[in-house]
Structure 1
């Protein structure tokens, strides 16, 4: 058999194996195993970052980061971090960036930012039978938040005259505290509350009046001179324009277009 015929036979065999095994050419094209790694720090925060049934990181931020950094020639390694130590980990170089539904508001001088790439609302949620309907109704009430998050700062520095503000290390605990009646309300990103209600069939009610509308960004160290932050910012803008971001967000949230209304933020 001539060499050309052998090659043709081998190509045909490979094609048959691919057809039988269900592989696609895109699987080969999407291989990122040889790319340099970007270590992304986050915590468990559905629908932005959480572990799927196979124990792999997934969510809005994971998918956006994977696509954006792939376009820049990197592959992403998502690591769960102690959220209260996020800046320390970033400054030490143990992680390259923070992408965890991270609000830019009030933190512009603390980090170098790519974004905002998503618009979000910090809101108050209560049990469905609560008599709390407005932010003014929080007076004298006990409210739980995740420590070091934006709702903590808003409620600490605002004129809400709370009974107690309870700051918890783990986000999941604030929902438990509300369901058990240990607190009257919780403060968090609207999307995380919606996701929790969907996952656990919880009967919460989100107040119509938000605490704050914020832009979500990717945080790098102020001392990072690699230029990755600036390139990522440009790539995330391109992904909004070409429809990639809307498609990704739509996998997790209804009406994804409203989360892309970021041009009004003067950051």
Structure 2
């Protein structure tokens, strides 16, 4: 009888421990659910933001945002937006911020910024058989960009003397289309973030050649509405810098990109 009582006691302790653990996990989950929600707007731009096989947002910016806002006491809801309408969406309050490999260059007065937290090269890519090897070779050629992106403004404004006059600049609404146009020979070149081009080649087994000279090296940031005075932007800026210093950002970026350290060299970008 004594032995049975001991066994019964052990079982009771185990049941109680399991029940308590379950309660604790439920409390943690409830606490997470009760955190205020930040709505982050982005479009599909691998490897920064895209939907995985289960339809769940993932990527560099998704992971960085999730960790940063967790540290700040928020939960984040990543929503796909029409990239061309990003400014009006953040200004109307429909989203809290824009984060999707978003270049700060030339937009410093348009938003309140957290960053830069990543350095990125804007580059031109051509088909491997192309006779285009330098930027000047683009004279009179047809080039595709995603609309409202930094490469579009670079070729439209041509404030850099290295940028030649194109034959046609074709602006397309979706990232994937510019590569389709290049692969089918509808255009001679495309311009985009280097990481985006490399990721597309990996995903679709495509072979493009990236020109050696970049269009520009830009800082990537998180954009809030200019009139947003909640202090979230400033807190985000500080948190992302802490993540860069403590190695968290490096750990996340290396899951998606080779030579991750170069993307964190933001100190000399001049913002």
TM-score using structure 1 length? 0.91
Select the residue among 234, 237, 242 that pairs with 1:238. Answer: 242
Residues 31, 96 of structure 1: CA spacing in aligned structure 2 closer, same or farther, 3 A cutoff?
Answer: same
From the superposition, tell whether residues 131 and 30 of structure 1 become closer, same or farther in structure 2 (CA, over 3 Å).
Answer: farther
Offset of 1:13 from its aligned partner?
A: 4.5
Across the two proteins, how many residue pairs are aligned to each other? 257
Find the counterpart in structure 1 of residue 93 from structure 2.
93
The one-character-per-residue Cα deviations of 1:136-182 (angstroms, maximum 9, x if unpaired) are 00001000000110000001122411110000111110000000000
C-alpha displacement at 1:11, in angstroms?
Answer: 3.9
Residues 29-87 of structure 1 deviation map (CA, whole Å, 9 limit, x = unaligned) = 89732211000000000000000010000000000000000000001100100111000
Q: State the 1:121 CA deviation.
A: 0.5
For structure 1, the residue ranges without an aligned partner over 5 or more in a row are 19-24
1:137-156 aligned within 5 A: 137-156=137-156
When residues 10 and 256 of structure 1 are mapped into structure 2, their CA distance, relative to the original with a 3 A threshold, is same
Of the candidates 180, 200, 205, which is equivalent to residue 201 of structure 1? 205
Is 1:117 paired with 2:117?
A: yes
In structure 1, distance between residues paired with 2:139 and 2:30: 53
Shift of 1:265: 1.5
Could you say which residue in structure 2 is the equivalent of 1:265? 269
**Which structure has the greater CA radius of gyration?**
2
1:36 and 2:28 are equivalent in the alignment: no
Check the 8 A contact 1:32/1:70 in 2, yes or no.
Answer: no
1:30 & 1:245 partners in 2: Cα distance? 28
CA distance in 2 between counterparts of 1:224 and 1:35 reads 20
Unaligned runs of 5+ residues in structure 2 are none
On the 8 A contact 1:118/1:260 being kept in 2, the answer is: yes
- Cα distance between partner residues in 2 of 1:31 and 1:207: 50
The two structures, once aligned, show a CA RMSD in angstroms of 2.2
CA distance 1:113–1:30, shift in 2 (3 Å) = farther
Aligned pair 1:10/2:8, yes or no?
A: no
Q: Could you list the per-position Cα deviations for residues 77-128 of structure 1 after superposition, in whole angstroms to 9, with x for gaps in the alignment?
A: 0010011100000000000000010000000000000000000000000001
Alignment partners' CA distance in 1, 2:92 and 2:195: 31
Partner in structure 2 of residue 226 of structure 1: 230
